[in-house]
Amino acid sequence: MERFAALLDALVYTRGRNAKLALIADYLRTTPDPDRGWALAALTDALDFPAVKSSTIRNLLTERVDPLLFALSRDFVGDTAETASLLWPQASDDAMPPPSLSEAVGLLQGMTRASVMSELPRLLDRLDADGRYALFKLATGGLRVGVSARLAKTAFAQGFGVPVEEVEEYWHALVPPYAELFAWGAHGAPPPDTGELPLFRPFMLAHPLEDAVLDLEDYVAEWKWDGIRVQIAHAGGETRLYSRTGDDVTGSFPEMAEALGFPAVLDGELLVRGTHQGGEVGGAASFNALQQRLGRKTVSTRMLADYPAFVRLYDVLILEGEDVRELPWTERRARLEALMPRLPAERFDLSPVVEADHFEHLAEIRAGARDEAIEGLMLKRKDSAYVAGRKTGLWYKWKRDPLLVDCVLMYAQRGSGKRSSFYSDYTFGCWDGDPDEGAELLPVGKAYFGFTDEELKQLDRYVRSHTVNRFGPVRETDRGVVFEVAFDSVHASRRHKSGLAMRFPRISRIRWDKPAHEADRIETLRALVRD
Amino acid sequence: MAAPFAWIRAEPHGIHVVPADCWIDPSLPVPNALVTHGHSDHARGGHGRTVATPETLAIMELRYQTREGAMPVQYGETIRLPGGVDATFVPAGHVLGSAQIVLDHAGERVVVTGDYKRRPDPTCPPFEAVPCDVFVTEATFGLPVFRHPPIEREIGKLRDALRREPDRCVLVGAYALGKAQRLIAELRRAGHHDAIFLHGALERMCRLYEAFGVDLGELRLVADARREELRGATVICPPSALNDRWSRRLPDPITAMASGWMRVRQRARQRNVELPLIISDHADWDELTATIEEVDPAESWITHGREEALLRWCQLHKRRARALALVGYEDEDD
Ligand SMILES: [Zn+2]
Ligand SMILES: [Zn+2]
């Protein structure tokens, strides 16, 4: 438990992704089984101890600490679990030695609503303040140490020198503490069997096209739809929907869970019905509409009716127990087209191939596609197998050119990690009218990348010498610098004062030359909304 | 006969010893001041006469560039103030020269702690508990969540980081008076004999400590060092310089901070600290409450920090107490 507590604390204080990876990889390499497996489960939020609720912690404390002292402490610390870990009366020296992580997990699993109030204190008495904090976080879930499941899997891969795609694939076949996964990764045992389960298979991903010109003899083009990439898997009578990161999102889209009735693993874009993408009736609504459905634990009938989901299929990975990932794209495509009649049309359609005579023709189609295929084009090598991850030369994404708008820097905030001494996070705005007639700037977005290190230094110097106000880590600057901001799309949003929200804004150029009053107005941005 | 303790009053800008017309740690200039220790919120300049330990007076001279009106008094020495008030300066264990002020008048005894701690500190003599009628106590860490860990554990964390990352340096933010020198002295006590590098703002205070006989080992300035020499080294700076442009000259520093506030994770994260060192020059909750029990006063007056929780503790333990609303004291960056 001490090692796990130390890992959690180190992760709390470490900001950089690589540093976090190194910490976890080192922990996984040097910690014995099954502790490391339980730690991995805790980091990926795969554990659940229903007997322990955050109210349990509060109740335990109010039995032991004066309520006013608890309230004052909680206000100061800001986190109930941390407050409780610090307030817990230190046990006498003859308490039992601290438990290992697996012993703690075993004890937590054995607790019931009826026994938790007597058993949890005995466990807490064996730990110091850091250990108690780790135990509370473990027991109530949600470690909040900035580690995604993907990062944890990458750390496993890095720690044992195995491909992350394979970790991803075996992962879903296993339950904590993942004994077979460690046997494979750490000791070279044969990989776990991924047989008869609706498991996640790692996605094949694309590289940006950059400046390359491809021969359309070898490559086929498809639209890149602006939804969320999903995999839908059916096996053993069960259907699951996975996001790009391998998260199970079936719960948010129950209509999709009922839509696939035979064993298969399919790759496609999850969209919501509407008339925007593709233009024709029965097409897809904008990404904004899809967002209404994301991240919901329960879905109302109203939601299902207003924003019905469907999947626009790109590919097939497994069909009736046969793994077709080794086949070339053309053959997989043929199988995909052949199976379409077996799928309900209101839940599935096929992403069409975009026909073009030659590459320049394709470029024209792409340039004209602003309203249609929101994100751009995909180019897939016709003879390529379905390979996990990003392999050079097989798939390319050719995003349509970004939208551009000129904005004025309004606020700057210190970055984190290596950038903590720089003002590197910028909030910028557009004019709400004619600046020469007293118009104001309204914030329209925030960006912290797109510039070079040298430009960052210049901007940092600029911010420091043009500060007009300070609010904690934030400085308000005079309205003197114009950014050319690139973004993928803009949508109506009630969360922002300007009523607009950009997707993927980044600084494309710093316009030192441009006077602030020549920056764009809100109307210009509003005209680009395609909701 | 006057009401009990009527001769001493808590006013917004300090504690007033009425018969002597004397103020303890006043936040405004007064004709006669008694100063517990050199931290700037206690030791302001501009008083007519300042009574304090020689160490505190030297610290004030360093800051205000004048010794005018300085009246040194040694630990344990009693001076007679006008109006029949005796004042004795007793070690508080907080920083170099820090004292509690024991006041005796008309058979009543009041102790003003200033800031204090109960843990051993190689840079100053330890706190002495003086039984009294009124105990005016600080409450900087007056919440039951504050239980400072042993300093050996925290020094160990720092040395582990140095060992683990020989190509980087550990940059510790530490309060310029007291914390920085105690940190250095504790590193030395733990067997760390390498040169320790200082931000320029810490140099004069370290030299002053040395002049009073505190051995700090080899100290060098960051400004005089080559980048390569700083790899694997401990660098100490004032907390305000931690995320400042100044730190860019250091080789990939691990940002640390030595402060009692580091007990709380959110506080450490707010300061972008990677290595929080829970080192405080103030009494923690257990020490605050144990000290009240030890000196066993008829009344406790609580000031300077989280008065509310300590007041509640006194109430729960059937002890008379009140919170003083003094102005001008800050949460020291401690
Ligand atoms: Zn102080
Ligand atoms: Zn103080």
ipTM of the complex in this document: 0.95
The reply to whether B53 touches chain A by the CB within 8 Å rule is: no
pLDDT digits (tens, 9 = 90+) for A374-418: 678 899 999 999 998 888 899 999 887 778 899 999 999 988 777
Q: Do domains A204-399 and A404-526 have the same CATH topology?
A: no
CATH number listed for the domain at residues B151-277: 3.40.50
Check: CB of residue A371 under 8 Å from CB of residue A529. no
B 300-319 residues with CB < 8 A to A: 306, 308-309, 312-313, 316
Q: If you search the block for the tokens 């999947």, which residue do you land on?
A: A311
The segment(s) of chain B belonging to CATH 3.60.15.10 are: 8-145+282-323
Series of mean pLDDT values for 10-residue runs along chain A (531 residues): 94 88 95 96 91 91 93 92 93 84 96 94 94 95 81 95 89 88 94 80 89 88 89 91 87 92 94 65 67 78 88 95 93 96 94 89 77 74 92 88 89 83 92 86 90 89 89 87 89 84 88 86 86 60
Determine which helix (DSSP H) or strand (DSSP E) holds B153, and give its type and residue range: helix B151-164
Q: Where are the domains of chain A?
A: 204-399, 404-526
Closest residue, chain B, to A19 (C-alpha): B274
The phi-psi region of residue A376 (left if phi > 0; otherwise alpha if psi is between -120 and 50; otherwise beta) is left
For B116, the token pair is 């204090």
Question: Who contacts B316 (Cβ-Cβ below 8 Å, separation ≥6)?
Answer: A66
For A436, the token pair is 């020469």
pLDDT digits (tens, 9 = 90+) for B75-120: 999 999 999 999 999 999 999 999 999 999 999 999 999 999 999 9
Bond prior to A473 in cis (omega within 30° of 0): no
- Per CB-CB distance under 8 Å, the chain A contacts of B244 are 421
Distance to chain A for B270, nearest Cα, Å: 9
- Per CB-CB distance under 8 Å, the chain B contacts of A416 are 272
Query: Residue A25 — φ and ψ, nearest 5°?
Result: -60, -45
Distance B281 CA to ligand 2 centre (A): 10
* Residue % of chain B over a pLDDT of 70: 97
**Which residue in B144, B255, B266 is closest to A73 by CB distance?**
B144
* Residue % of chain B over a pLDDT of 90: 87
Closest residue, chain A, to B309 (C-alpha): A69
**Which residue in B243, B265, B308 is closest to A421 by CB distance?**
B243
Closest residue, chain B, to A9 (C-alpha): B265
Nearest ligand to the C-alpha atom of residue B139: 2
Distance to chain A for B157, nearest Cα, Å: 11
Lowest average pLDDT, out of A182-196, A341-355, B162-176, B184-198, goes to A182-196
A 56-75 residues with CB < 8 A to B: 65-66, 68-69, 72-73
Instruction: Inform me whether the pLDDT recorded for B165 exceeds 80.
Output: yes
CB contact under 8 A, B143 and A82: no
Q: Which CATH architecture has domain B8-145+282-323?
A: 4-Layer Sandwich (3.60)
Distance to chain B for A74, nearest Cα, Å: 9
The reply to whether B245 touches chain A by the CB within 8 Å rule is: yes
Instruction: Inform me whether the pLDDT recorded for B15 exceeds 70.
Output: yes
For A381, the token pair is 């090598």
- Per CB-CB distance under 8 Å, the chain B contacts of A420 are 243, 255, 272
Quote the CA–CA distance of B187 and B173 in Å, as a whole number.
15
What is the reported pLDDT for A195?
Answer: 64
For A301, the token pair is 């009938």
How is domain A204-399 classified at the CATH fold level?
Answer: D-amino Acid Aminotransferase; Chain A, domain 1 (3.30.470)
**A224 is a catalytic site residue:** yes
Which residues neighbour ligand 2 (ion) by CB within 5 Å? Answer: B 115
CATH number listed for the domain at residues A404-526: 2.40.50.140
| Cα-based distances in Å from B163 to A28, A309, A367 | 21, 55, 57
CB contact under 8 A, B269 and A12: yes
How far is C-alpha A382 from the geometric centre of its chain's CA atoms?
Answer: 30
Quote the CA–CA distance of A123 and A136 in Å, as a whole number.
11
- Per CB-CB distance under 8 Å, the chain A contacts of B308 are 72
Quote the CA–CA distance of A7 and A29 in Å, as a whole number.
13
What is the 3-state secondary structure of A70-91? HHHHHHHHCCHHHHHHHHCCCC
For chain A, the maximum distance between any two Cα atoms, rounded to a whole number of angstroms, is 82
Question: Who contacts B221 (Cβ-Cβ below 8 Å, separation ≥6)?
Answer: B197, B198, B200, B203
What is the reported pLDDT for A396?
Answer: 93
Quote the CA–CA distance of A259 and A256 in Å, as a whole number.
5
What is the reported pLDDT for B1?
Answer: 47
The reply to whether B143 touches chain A by the CB within 8 Å rule is: yes
Distance to chain A for B195, nearest Cα, Å: 26
DSSP character string of B201-260:
GGHHHHHHHHHTT-----EEEGGGS-GGGGTT-EEEE-GGGTTSGGGGGSSSPEEEEE-G
The reply to whether A22 touches chain B by the CB within 8 Å rule is: no
Distance B333 CA to ligand 2 centre (A): 10
Contact pairs from chain A to chain B, CB under 8 Å = 67
- Per CB-CB distance under 8 Å, the chain A contacts of B147 are 86, 90, 129
Distance to chain B for A78, nearest Cα, Å: 8
The reply to whether A453 touches chain B by the CB within 8 Å rule is: no
Nearest ligand to the C-alpha atom of residue B138: 2
β-bridge pairing A395-399 and A264-277: unpaired
The reply to whether A87 touches chain B by the CB within 8 Å rule is: yes
Q: Best residue in A8, A15, A76, A80 to probe B by mutation, most B CBs within 10 Å? A: A76
A153, A224, A382, A397: the catalytic one is A224
A 128-157 residues with CB < 8 A to B: 129
Instruction: Give the residue, A400 or B203, on which the prediction is more confident.
Output: B203
The reply to whether B1 touches chain A by the CB within 8 Å rule is: no
Distance B259 CA to ligand 2 centre (A): 14
How far is C-alpha A401 from the geometric centre of its chain's CA atoms?
Answer: 24
Instruction: Give the residue, B281 or B269, on which the prediction is more confident.
Output: B281
Closest residue, chain A, to B306 (C-alpha): A72
Instruction: Inform me whether the pLDDT recorded for B331 exceeds 80.
Output: no
Distance B305 CA to ligand 1 centre (A): 11
The phi-psi region of residue A360 (left if phi > 0; otherwise alpha if psi is between -120 and 50; otherwise beta) is alpha
Closest residue, chain A, to B241 (C-alpha): A421
The reply to whether B276 touches chain A by the CB within 8 Å rule is: yes
The segment(s) of chain B belonging to CATH 3.40.50 are: 151-277
Proportion of chain A in helix, strand, coil states, percent, rounded to 5: 35, 25, 40
Distance to chain A for B264, nearest Cα, Å: 6
What is the reported pLDDT for B266?
Answer: 87
The phi-psi region of residue A130 (left if phi > 0; otherwise alpha if psi is between -120 and 50; otherwise beta) is alpha
Closest residue, chain A, to B264 (C-alpha): A77
- Per CB-CB distance under 8 Å, the chain A contacts of B265 are 9, 12-13, 79, 82
**Which residue in A82, A414, A421 is closest to B247 by CB distance?**
A421
CB contact under 8 A, A421 and B312: no
- Per CB-CB distance under 8 Å, the chain B contacts of A12 are 265, 269
